[in-house]
């Protein structure tokens, strides 16, 4: 601003700086009323107590103390207090729709054996394993209790139902119930991992099948951890002849499995695991002290095509792989536990492992599959043999209102949706209607995908 | 002798000029005189016809027309006597508007048993309009009996298509059938949805011991969930996206009838958004059919409004409806 402009204007000249704050020309001049000092004129100077207008100080942002964080976002969500699954199931009164929680111990199957991906994600979101007791849960647990007396060849069930109807959850509930009631549990949460070529395999001349050593080792290790107390009381009937050593008959299963663990620790080799696993399973077959539950999720993967190929790049059948073969033998009744059951759960989520024709025929699942399959479609005879005697356990697609309320209460309790102004009853009934009662649709595409406030 | 002469005269007349019009009567009379007296015609007098238009070709038409004109004159006399005619202009203007719809010429032809040419039709309708006018005046002027009588006469000539014609621009009100179902149509873009809605049956449960003793704690209200079937699939199977599903349940939420009705729909045409919008429209109309009191509220919430947005056409010189081609400087 030049001198001339200052003189020509009536009032004090005002300039705006970058911050948008008006700054007077007194940046250059000492005061607004400063007289222009021109030669010949004597200017009166103002007193020294004149306050010069300064630029406003830039505000300094300081973090708030913890006590001042009053917003809802900072509030710690109190986990809903729900009864324990085992204690609730033990009661005989009507508990359909009752939401329950699991407090898994260190050796709980869902920690050690793992979980299917969708359940894992759900429990991570909920920050704790929660579940709801449905009518089908009661039926399944009742069936399991009855199955504990008879050989497993009499109780080979496959949980079937529409996608999202709660088969994996039901399988987990049966596994948890079994372990709590003193069963020996072998739980394979992801059946696709057996056939998708993620674990190593090697051809074994003796058995003429491809052994999956790493998976066998992992299974042994997990079995030992979960069923430690039970395995300590079961001994091998026959000795196990390995390459480098022989495990004598009479050693308990924990010690037998320890051999495999030590071998891996020392030399990193898991070559003896398949043999030890086979022996352990045979020991479990014969003993009658404890019922054994073999639970496999994504069951349909075992009966379909595998991603494994042999040296000629020919696909390997699943019954030529040690782990799927072992499970299928128990599932078909070729091998049987003296007391126990085999329960599988099919899953529609794996697009690379769809429901195979042989299993579809055995379980009469025409309505589940929209593919047109005729009598002229090729079926593998060996596979048909492995599907003999499998029984269907249908999981209803629709949650009843009470069950849906239980699911709703869990998600509402962890504050996964809704707020102060939410009409929870309208949300519940609206989402229930939209999802048609399907559990997955109700939770994932309903409560968690809520557009309305 | 007479006969001969008569005959000769006849012959002579015939030959000379056939154009001479001889009175037929003379011949007929003379002829008859000589005939046997067995003919009964002239022994008895002819019966007098009931109406003066008996000998006209269009007896029914003239009859009815004369009846109408008589009605006009008597009504006119009555109204003048009661000082209702002549009406001043302001009074005539204040009369309620009436839209008469008379039978069309083809319909009247069967009534009058004659071909209704324009002239005849205009004559009739002119009389009817006048009677209609008198009927209005009588009704408003406080002569109910006359008004009723005139209305009875007019109703004979009113077209059966009157109802349809009057309701032409108006929306058709959906009604419930004998089972209590509503059938409505919803549309959006190029999709259409045919929606049937029926109230959910609430089963009456046996009274619990608590309620019988009267020591009920919490009163539990039975909640019934609605089932929505679209093309015989459940809603979550047909509409995969949550926003489509929410659109469909919005009318039910606004009305507060989430668990009250079961819905069955057949949707056709368009894509997911169009079909879900059409279904929502159909459900909204169905709710209004079941609960007419909610009509105003739904109209204000624009739920019963058929979304007029359609795909805009592509224009020449443009890549799409609005998209222009890349502008090139040179």
Hey, what are B186's tokens? 């919803």
Strand ranges in A155-311 using DSSP code E only, listed in sequence order: 156-160, 184-188, 202-204, 209-211, 240-241, 246-247, 292-297
Interchain contact, B246 vs A436, CB within 8 Å = no
Contact: B259, A430; criterion CB under 8 Å: no
**Number of inter-chain CB pairs under 8 A, A vs B:** 55
Q: Does A450 touch chain B (CB under 8 A)?
A: yes
CB contact under 8 Å between A433 and B223, yes or no, is no
Say yes or no: A333 contacts chain B, CB-CB below 8 A.
Answer: no
**Option in B223, B225, B253 nearest A426 (CB):** B253
Enter the ipTM: 0.79
Which helix (H) or strand (E) segment holds residue A137: the answer is: helix A135-147
Question: How far apart are the C-alpha atoms of A378 and B42, rounded to whole Å?
Answer: 107
Residue in A434, A441, A445 closest to B249 by CB: A434
All domains of chain B in start order, with CATH: 59-166 (no CATH), 182-202+224-307 (3.30.230.10)
**Distance (Å) from the C-alpha of residue B148 to the closest C-alpha of chain A?**
55
Tell me if A122 sits within 8 A of A307, measured CB to CB: no
How would you write the pLDDT of chain A (453 residues) with one tens digit per residue? 454 444 454 555 555 555 555 454 444 555 555 555 566 656 566 666 566 677 777 778 888 888 888 887 888 888 888 999 988 887 767 789 999 999 999 999 999 999 999 999 999 999 899 999 999 999 999 999 999 999 999 999 999 999 999 999 999 999 999 999 999 999 999 999 999 999 999 999 999 999 999 999 999 999 999 999 999 999 999 999 998 899 999 999 999 999 999 999 999 999 999 999 999 999 999 999 999 999 999 999 999 999 999 999 999 999 999 999 999 999 999 999 999 999 999 999 999 999 999 999 999 998 877 788 899 999 999 999 999 999 999 999 999 999 999 999 999 999 898 888 889 999 999 999 999 999 999 999 999 998 766
Q: Do A445 and B245 touch (CB under 8 A)?
A: yes
Q: Please give the torsion angle defined by the CA atoms of residues A367, A371, A376 and A378, in that order, rounded to the nearest 10 degrees.
A: -100
Whether A278 contacts A221, CB under 8 Å: no
Interface probe, candidates A433, A445, A447, A448, chain B, greatest B C-beta count within 10 A: A433
Residue with tokens 């529409």: A162
| Closest approach of A390 to chain B, Cα-based (Å) | 29
Residue of B nearest to A432 (CA): B225
Radius of gyration of chain A (CA): 35
> A430, B249: Cβ pair inside 8 Å?
yes
Q: How far is A336 from chain B (nearest CA, A)?
A: 40
φ and ψ of B171, to 5 deg: -75, 140
Looking at the whole model, is its pTM more than 0.80? no
Collapsed DSSP state (helix, strand, coil) of residue A296: strand
Distance in angstroms (rounded) separating the CA atoms of residues A4 and A16: 19
Residues 6+ apart with CB under 8 A from A24: A12, A13, A14, A15, A32, A53
């Amino acid at each position: 601003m030049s001198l001339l402009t200052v003189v020509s204007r009536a009032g004090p000249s005002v300039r705006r700086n970058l911050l948008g704050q008006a700054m007077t020309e007194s940046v250059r001049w000492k005061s607004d009323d400063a007289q222009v000092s021109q030669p010949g004129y004597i200017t009166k100077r103002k007193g020294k107590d004149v306050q010069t207008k300064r630029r406003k100080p830039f505000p300094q942002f300081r973090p708030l103390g913890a006590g001042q964080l009053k917003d809802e976002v900072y509030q710690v969500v109190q986990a809903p207090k729900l009864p324990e699954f085992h204690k609730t199931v033990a009661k005989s009164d009507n508990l359909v729709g009752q939401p329950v929680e699991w407090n898994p111990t260190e050796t709980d199957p869902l920690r050690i054996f793992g979980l299917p991906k969708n359940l894992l994600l759900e429990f991570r979101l909920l920050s704790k394993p929660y579940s709801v007791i449905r009518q089908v849960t009661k039926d399944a647990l009742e069936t399991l209790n009855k199955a504990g007396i008879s050989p497993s060849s009499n109780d080979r069930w496959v949980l079937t139902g529409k996608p999202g109807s709660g088969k994996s959850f039901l399988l987990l509930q049966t596994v948890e119930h079994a372990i709590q009631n003193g069963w020996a549990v072998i739980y394979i949460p992801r059946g696709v991992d057996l056939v998708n070529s993620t674990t190593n395999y090697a051809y074994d001349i003796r058995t003429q099948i491809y052994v999956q050593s790493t998976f066998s080792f992992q299974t042994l290790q997990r079995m030992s951890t979960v069923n430690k107390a039970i395995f300590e009381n079961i001994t091998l009937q026959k000795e196990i002849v390995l390459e480098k050593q022989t495990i004598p008959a009479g050693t308990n299963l924990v010690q037998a499995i320890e051999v495999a663990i030590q071998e891996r620790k020392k030399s990193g080799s898991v070559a003896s695991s398949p043999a030890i696993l086979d022996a352990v399973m045979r020991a479990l077959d014969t003993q009658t002290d404890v019922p054994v539950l073999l639970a496999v999720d994504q069951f349909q993967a075992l009966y379909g095509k595998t991603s494994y190929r042999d040296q000629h790049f020919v696909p390997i059948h699943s019954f030529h792989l040690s782990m799927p073969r072992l499970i299928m033998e128990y599932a078909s009744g070729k091998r049987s536990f003296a007391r126990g059951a085999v329960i599988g759960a099919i899953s529609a989520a794996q697009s690379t492992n769809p429901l195979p024709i042989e299993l579809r025929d055995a379980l009469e699942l025409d309505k589940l599959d929209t593919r047109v399959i005729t009598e002229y479609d090729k079926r593998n005879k060996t596979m048909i043999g492995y599907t003999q005697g499998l029984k269907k356990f249908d999981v209803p697609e629709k949650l009843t209102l009470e069950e849906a309320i239980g699911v709703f209460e869990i998600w509402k309790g962890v504050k996964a949706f809704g707020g102060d102004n939410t009409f929870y009853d309208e949300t519940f009934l609206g989402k229930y209607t939209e999802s048609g009662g399907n559990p997955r649709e109700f939770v994932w595409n309903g409560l968690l995908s809520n557009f309305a406030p | 002798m007479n006969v001969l002469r008569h005959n000769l005269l006849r012959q002579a007349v015939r030959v000379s000029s056939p154009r001479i019009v001889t009175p037929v009567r003379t011949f007929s009379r003379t002829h008859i005189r000589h005939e046997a007296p067995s003919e009964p015609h002239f022994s008895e007098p002819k019966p007098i016809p009931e109406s003066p238009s008996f000998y006209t070709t269009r007896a029914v038409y003239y009859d009815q027309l004369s009846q109408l004109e008589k009605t006009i004159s008597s009504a006119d006399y009555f109204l003048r006597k009661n000082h209702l005619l002549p009406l001043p202009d302001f009074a005539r203007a204040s009369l309620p508007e009436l839209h008469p719809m008379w039978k069309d010429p083809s319909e009247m032809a069967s009534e009058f048993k004659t071909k209704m040419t324009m002239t005849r039709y205009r004559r009739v309708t002119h009389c009817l309009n006048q009677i209609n006018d008198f009927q209005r005046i009588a009704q408003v002027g406080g002569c109910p009996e006359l008004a009723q009588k005139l209305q009875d006469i007019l109703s004979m000539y009113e077209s059966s298509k009157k109802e349809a014609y009057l309701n032409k621009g108006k929306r058709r009100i959906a009604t419930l059938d004998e089972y209590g179902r509503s059938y409505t149509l919803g549309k959006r873009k190029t999709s259409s949805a045919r929606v049937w809605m029926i109230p959910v049956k609430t089963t009456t449960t046996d009274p619990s011991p608590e309620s019988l003793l009267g020591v009920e704690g919490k009163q539990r209200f039975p909640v019934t969930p609605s089932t929505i079937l679209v093309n015989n699939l459940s809603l979550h199977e047909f509409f995969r996206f949550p926003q489509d599903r929410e659109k469909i349940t919005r009318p039910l939420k606004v009305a507060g009838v989430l668990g009250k009705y079961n819905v069955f729909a057949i949707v056709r045409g368009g894509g997911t958004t169009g079909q879900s919008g059409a279904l929502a429209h159909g459900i909204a109309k169905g709710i209004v059919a079941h609960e007419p009191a909610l009509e105003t509220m739904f109209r204000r919430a624009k739920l019963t409004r058929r979304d007029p947005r359609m795909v805009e056409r592509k224009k020449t010189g443009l890549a799409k409806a609005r998209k222009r081609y890349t502008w090139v400087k040179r």
